[in-house]
Structure 1
Amino acid sequence: MKIIRTLSISSDAFYDYLVNQLLSEANAVPEMNYNRNHIKKGFKFHRNMQHTSIVSTTEVLDYQPGKQLVVKTTHHTDSIEFNYETRQSPKGLEVTFKQEMSAFDKKKGLRFFRGFSSAIYLSRMSNSLYAIQEQVLKEMERQK
């Protein structure tokens, strides 16, 4: 699934937020102390999912600061890949957000329900981008 949205924040602020979120997850692993220098293509960490014995693996597939971040998380039954690409436009930061889930199999289910599921999925993707913008703007306001 793919959406394109224009945000009113800088690419630096956008990627800082994404990298900080990734570091927060990586450093949730006991005794880990990752920093921004670790975030690059090939960076990988494992962690137990909350309240289960299921281990997930998160890997940075590509990172070009200010341009693109691709991250894939996998566990025993599913994988999800997040791809953020950005470019500056006259209206703001144009973000192309692609998200692929292995469990989102187009062959399953009736056509109506696949379409309904797709609409909900796209809406959640859009909401997540606007939530990032909101968090970045709140942080900027707090730092003033």
Structure 2
Amino acid sequence: MKLTRILKVTETEFYDFLENDLLNNIYQCTNKKLSSKDIKKGLRYTKHDESVYSRIDISILDYKRGEFYKSEIKSIADRITISFETEVIDNELKIVFNQHIEGFESKKHNKFMRMFSEAVYYGRMTDTLYDIQKKIVTNRENFIEPIFPN
């Protein structure tokens, strides 16, 4: 499923948020401290959820800061591919968000259920993008310039 939105954030803010979120997630899952230089095609890590005894493998399929990010999330139940493609337009950021859930096959659903499921997924995708925007704006508003003595 493909969704396009324009957010009131800068390209730098978006990719800083994306990288920080990813690096924090990797640290929580592996206890390894990586840097933004390590975020590239082929980076992999595993997340374990002890409450349900599950394993989730996350792989970066492609990444170029300022242009795109693509990852794959594999679990026992599903395989999800997520990508963001970005473009600066009039000081705002156009984001094309693609999400493919392998377990969601339209031919397994009747027309009504397919339309309902697609609406739910589009709603969640929109919420994801606007949550990112909200977090970035909150960080921007709470940022305090460091004061250095002369």
Q: TM-score, normalised by structure 2?
A: 0.90
Matched, 1:58 2:50: no
Alpha-carbon distance in structure 2 between the residues aligned to 1:50 and 1:15: 30
1:70 aligns with 2:70: yes
TM-aligned CA distance change 1:98 to 1:140, over 3 Å: same
- Percent of pairs identical after alignment? 29
Quickly say closer, same or farther: Cα 1:12–1:91, change in 2 above 3 A.
closer
* Alignment partner, residue 148 of structure 2: none
Shift of 1:30: 4.4
Q: For 1:94-113, what aligned pairs fall within 5 Å after superposition?
A: 94-113=94-113
**Corresponding residue pairs, total:** 144
- Rounded to whole Å, the distance in 1 between the matches of 2:31 and 2:129 is 31
Computing the radius of gyration from Cα coordinates, the structure with the larger value is 2
Runs of at least 5 residues in structure 1 that lack an aligned partner in the other structure:
none
What SS is found at the alignment partner of 2:133? helix
Q: Structure 1 residues 127, 114: closer, same or farther in 2, change over 3 A? A: same
Instruction: Provide the aligned C-alpha RMSD in A.
Output: 1.3
Counterpart of 1:19 in structure 2 is: 19
Task: Please tell me the residue identity of whatever aligns with 2:133.
Answer: Q
TM-score, normalized by length of structure 1?
0.94
Structure 2, unaligned stretches of length 5 or more?
145-150
Q: How far has the Cα of 1:60 moved from its partner? A: 0.6
Instruction: Work out whether residues 6 and 91 of structure 1, in 8 Å CA contact, stay in contact via their aligned partners in 2.
Output: no
Amino acid at match of 1:103: G
Cα offset, 1:123, TM superposition: 1.2
Give the deviation of 1:34 after TM superposition.
2.1
Within a 5 Å distance, the mapping from 1:1-144 to structure 2 comes to 1-90=1-90, 92-144=92-144
